Amino acid sequence: MTADDDDVRLCDHGPMSAGPVHDAVSATGLTKRFGGVQAVRGISLTVPAGARFGLIGQNGAGKTTFIKMMLGICRHDEGSIRVLGSDPEDVSVRRRIGYLPERLAIPPSFSALAFLDSVARYKGIAAERRRGECRDLLQLVGLEESAWDRKTGGYSKGMRQRTGLAAALVGKPDLLVLDEPTDGIDPMGRRQIRDVILDVAKGGATLFLNSHLLQETEKVCDHVAVLHQGQVVVAGALSVLQRKDSFRVAFRRPDAAALVAVANEQGFVVDDSHERDAGHHHHDADRLVTRFTGTDAGALSQALARAIGAGLVVVEVAPELVELETILMRSMAPAGGAPTTPTTTTTTTTDGARP
Ligand X SMILES: Nc1ncnc2c1ncn2[C@@H]1O[C@H](COP(=O)(O)OP(=O)(O)OP(=O)(O)O)[C@@H](O)[C@H]1O
Identify how many contiguous H helices and E strands the chain contains and give both numbers. 12, 15
User: x/- string (CB under 6 A) for ligand X, residues 213-252?
Assistant: ----------------------------------------
Give which of Mg ion, ligand X, none residue 5 binds (C-beta under 5 to 8 Å, depending on kind). Answer: none
Beta strands in the chain (DSSP E): 8-10, 20-22, 25-34, 37-47, 52-56, 78-83, 97-100, 175-179, 206-210, 223-228, 231-237, 243-252, 268-270, 287-293, 314-321
Q: Is 211 in the site for ligand X (CB under 6 A)?
A: no
The interface partner of residue 269, options being ligand X, Mg ion, none and the CB cut-off 5 to 8 Å by kind, is none
Under DSSP, is residue 279 helix (H, G, I), strand (E, B) or coil?
A: coil
Min separation Cβ 113 and Mg ion, Å? 28
Question: Which residue number has the CB closest to Mg ion?
Answer: 64
| Shorter beta-carbon distance to ligand X: residue 14 or 60 | 60
Measuring CA to CA, which residue among 45, 46, 52, 53 is closest to residue 5? 46
Using CB under 6 A as the binding rule, whether residue 77 contacts ligand X is answered as: no
- In whole angstroms, what is the distance from residue 119 CA to residue 116 CA? 5
Which listed residue (44, 65, 206, 348) binds ligand X by CB under 6 A? 65
State the residues that interact with Mg ion by CB under 5 A.
63-64, 102
Contact pick of 17, 44, 46, 64 for ligand X (by CB under 6 A): 64
| Cα gap 290→6, rounded to integer Å | 40
* Rounded least distance, CB 278 to ligand X, Å: 28
Could you say whether residue 39 binds ligand X (CB under 6 A)? yes
Answer for which of 8, 18, 37, 261 binds ligand X (CB under 6 A) is: 37
Whole-angstrom distance, CA of residue 75 vs CA of residue 94: 15
Residues 187 and 344: their CA atoms lie apart, in Å, by 37
Which of ligand X, Mg ion, none interacts with 108 (beta carbon under 5 to 8 A by kind)? none
Q: Which does 61 bind (CB under 5 to 8 A by kind): Mg ion, ligand X, none?
A: ligand X
Residue 62 lies near ligand X (rule: CB under 6 A):
yes
Q: Are 289 and 352 in contact (CB under 8 A)?
A: no
Least gap, CB of 138 to ligand X (angstroms): 27
Residue 61 touches ligand X, criterion: CB under 6 A: yes
Q: Which helix (H) or strand (E) is 238 found in, with range?
A: helix 238-241
Distance CA 10, CA 59 (A): 37
Q: Which residues bind ligand X (CB under 6 A)?
A: 34, 37, 39, 57, 59-65, 102
